[in-house]
Amino acid sequence: MHRFLSSASLLLLAAIASGLFSASTAYAQDVECNPSFVSVSTGKIRVLPSGGDDTDNLQCAVLEAGRLSLPRVELAAGDFSFTRLFFDAYRGTFGGTSADSTRMTVIPNSVDCGGAGQSANLVVVSGGDTKISRVRIDASNPCRSGSNFAVIAFVQPESEPACQRRTFFGEVDRVEVIGSASQSGRTVAISNVPPQQCFLAGQGTLGTFKVNRSTIEAFAIAIATQIWGQGQVDINFNSIDAVGTAIFIVDADQSTTITGNSIRYNGGNPAWTNQSFGYGVLGSTFSNGAPAANRTVIHNNRFFDLG
């Protein structure tokens, strides 16, 4: 027995389809970015390289993805240039198709990096559930002044309200972060250390943090981490080369698993080891207000001392 739709039903379906198409078109037009380089497709915002400074396009894409609750900001293959990027409680993935094909470069001499006791963060992730994935970030010469910086920094917002958004779930997956041995400052590839004022207020970071199958080269510190509340930190299957200290666990109360990494430490710039950074894994308590306990499992890694 065959079943056929009535003319009225067909008209109703056509009206619904037309409404959906119109809604989709309006939805795409809601993005307040440069349409030549930023566009919306199903479930994501896509960004094309402009051939110049891409900071505004990248930042606009991130803000619009958050506003529209889109779970992905996808960078096309090619070369992007930027100064700094900010994520505020974004829940989703930012990145390309592979670290070989999608390349981001911090514009040389474009950032006022920190001096003594200070540091500038280049890709700043405040709160949320953000994954940085499948992209190469070259930060070999970012500083216009100063010399201390972190490339990817998961931090707590210092205001609105101060330090109270403590929980985040951060991940760096299949990313290449490239520095330079010519940088003599306190350079960090990936960090999740909270602002000092949050630490001193007893409101350290909570949540989880992962660095997976990534490549880090030529930094004073490859990965610096501080989570409280016995949060889980996984640093697995990475290649870390020409760094002073590979993994720095500071003033933490976290459960850390370090597995399957290739770690070449105590190298790069001699200034890094002169600053007491020359370790494969360094766990340290610097402050009186630090938690009393910390758990670390180090398993099946390869360590090479370059000193």
pLDDT, tens only, 278-299:
999 998 887 777 777 789 999 9
Residue 27: band (very low, low, confident or very high) from pLDDT cuts 50, 70, 90: very low
Residue 161: band (very low, low, confident or very high) from pLDDT cuts 50, 70, 90: low
Residue 145 confidence (pLDDT)? 93
Residue 21: pLDDT over 60: no
DSSP 66-120: HHTT-SEEEEPSEEEEES-EEEES-EEEEE-S-TTTEEEEEPTT-EE-B-TT--E
Residue 31 confidence (pLDDT)? 81
What mean pLDDT do residues 96-115 have? 94
pTM of the model: 0.88
Residue 12: pLDDT over 50: no
Residue 268 confidence (pLDDT)? 87
Taking residue 13's Cβ as centre, other Cβ atoms within 10 Å add up to 11
Residue 5 confidence (pLDDT)? 44
Residue 11: band (very low, low, confident or very high) from pLDDT cuts 50, 70, 90: very low
